[in-house]
Structure 1
């Protein structure tokens, strides 16, 4: 087995796929740089991302797959689950070698894994879009700090760009140490040090932010009918791990 190292980008992955065919690597083990346990005496192929090579594979694959199936492939890549690159490679190889659509062949373990992983990503995307709550700083920036199970920031950027088109906002993923920033024109990825103390955080809030949060909590509590409270159902639709994002779940 030969380790194939790439830079963790989507184009880097498809460059790796191209070079596996180009160099006829028969038993590839695709790993992200920095995450692979590579033996000093092992056989390693290092990939340098090439947009032309990646584009050729992507174009061919898009010809073979329905649009929704290629979306599932991309979402599965973003999940960054252990071993997902090798699953994606086998899926890609199966698609390219088949004369028929493979996307509903759930007897194939890789097709089934991609479909299940994309579903998990879809649920996380939906929950982030529903549960993110912004806070306003003194300079008019709306920001939210999140730590989703998967890397869903690329998937939710359009939702927030369309919904908050007239506001500058930042959503920062503390797990993956990067964020998406909207400057009223475009969304871009940013890497910043977002480690602040409670005193520092309080100092950057807009003076009306505490009032807005209090009003929202009051509204939420006033519409919550105690006699109809169903906590198991509530938790099923709003798992506890998301409560830390919600203004209405903070101490009132």
Structure 2
């Protein structure tokens, strides 16, 4: 059985889908190299990212299916679930035949799986828009730590870039070591290597490190990537909420 393995990037996934759709090799599944486990049964084929091929798939989804389909694809990719790449692949095989009508075919298990995962990611995005709390930590620099289930930091950034357009800010995904940074002109994604496990007495040191990280992030252009009760406020989010912190 053939397995396509890619580099965990969105471009890599779209390249794998290109190879699966436009060549004679039809994989049983597509898996990120983060999750792939070698075995004696599967024939692993590693797919190198190709920006030209990924752009072709991106444009094909938008033009031949719909903008909604492209949103579903991206949301499911951001779920980071092991099965997500295969779910996307199976969905697109149907969607390229049916066009925009594919999203009405909810009796099909592949389409239904796509919608279920996409809805979970979208639901968390909207929840986090209301749960993200910024702290003024130095001059006009605002910082917000979050720890979402899904990799949604890039979905949150446009909202806050519009809402806090006159401020410098950083939204830090603590679990993934990633941040969305805004410099009063544009937002971009970057890596944050520091760990935020400081004691109360080390707060000033923590803020200084954040300040340095912020300026380091905005100065390295190569790291920019502008493309990356309990029902409503689950307890796993409480540690980052100002109103839930113990005095």
The question of a shared fold, defined as TM-score above 0.5 by the shorter chain, is answered with yes
Q: TM-score, normalised by structure 1?
A: 0.82
Query: Which residue does the alignment assign to 1:162?
Result: 162
The answer to whether structure 1 residue 3 and structure 2 residue 3 are counterparts is: yes
Query: Which residue does the alignment assign to 1:145?
Result: 145
What secondary structure does 1:237 align onto? coil
Residues 136 and 205, structure 1, Cα contact 8 Å, conserved in 2: no
Query: Which residue does the alignment assign to 2:243?
Result: 248
Residues 146 and 171, structure 2, Cα contact 8 Å, conserved in 1: yes
C-alpha displacement at 1:40, in angstroms? Answer: 7.2
C-alpha displacement at 1:99, in angstroms? Answer: 6.1
Distance 1:191 1:129 in 2: 21
What secondary structure does 1:102 align onto? helix
Query: Which residue does the alignment assign to 1:53?
Result: 53
Query: Which residue does the alignment assign to 1:32?
Result: 32
Query: Which residue does the alignment assign to 2:171?
Result: 171
RMSD: 2.0
Q: TM-score, normalised by structure 2?
A: 0.83
C-alpha displacement at 1:33, in angstroms? Answer: 1.8
Query: Which residue does the alignment assign to 1:188?
Result: 188
What secondary structure does 2:231 align onto? helix
Change (3 A) 1:43 1:237: closer
Query: Which residue does the alignment assign to 2:233?
Result: 238
Query: Which residue does the alignment assign to 2:89?
Result: 89
Larger radius of gyration: 1
C-alpha displacement at 1:84, in angstroms? Answer: 0.9
What secondary structure does 2:192 align onto? coil
State which drifts further: 133-142 or 148-157. Answer: 133-142
C-alpha displacement at 1:43, in angstroms? Answer: 2.1
C-alpha displacement at 1:173, in angstroms? Answer: 0.8
What secondary structure does 2:180 align onto? strand
What secondary structure does 2:101 align onto? coil
What secondary structure does 1:123 align onto? helix
C-alpha displacement at 1:18, in angstroms? Answer: 1.0
Residues 15 and 53, structure 1, Cα contact 8 Å, conserved in 2: yes
C-alpha displacement at 1:120, in angstroms? Answer: 0.9
What secondary structure does 2:104 align onto? coil
C-alpha displacement at 1:204, in angstroms? Answer: 4.8
C-alpha displacement at 1:27, in angstroms? Answer: 3.1
Query: Which residue does the alignment assign to 1:107?
Result: 107
Distance 1:151 1:99 in 2: 28
What secondary structure does 2:127 align onto? helix
Query: Which residue does the alignment assign to 2:222?
Result: none
List alignment gaps of at least 5 residues for structure 2: 209-228
Aligned residues: 225
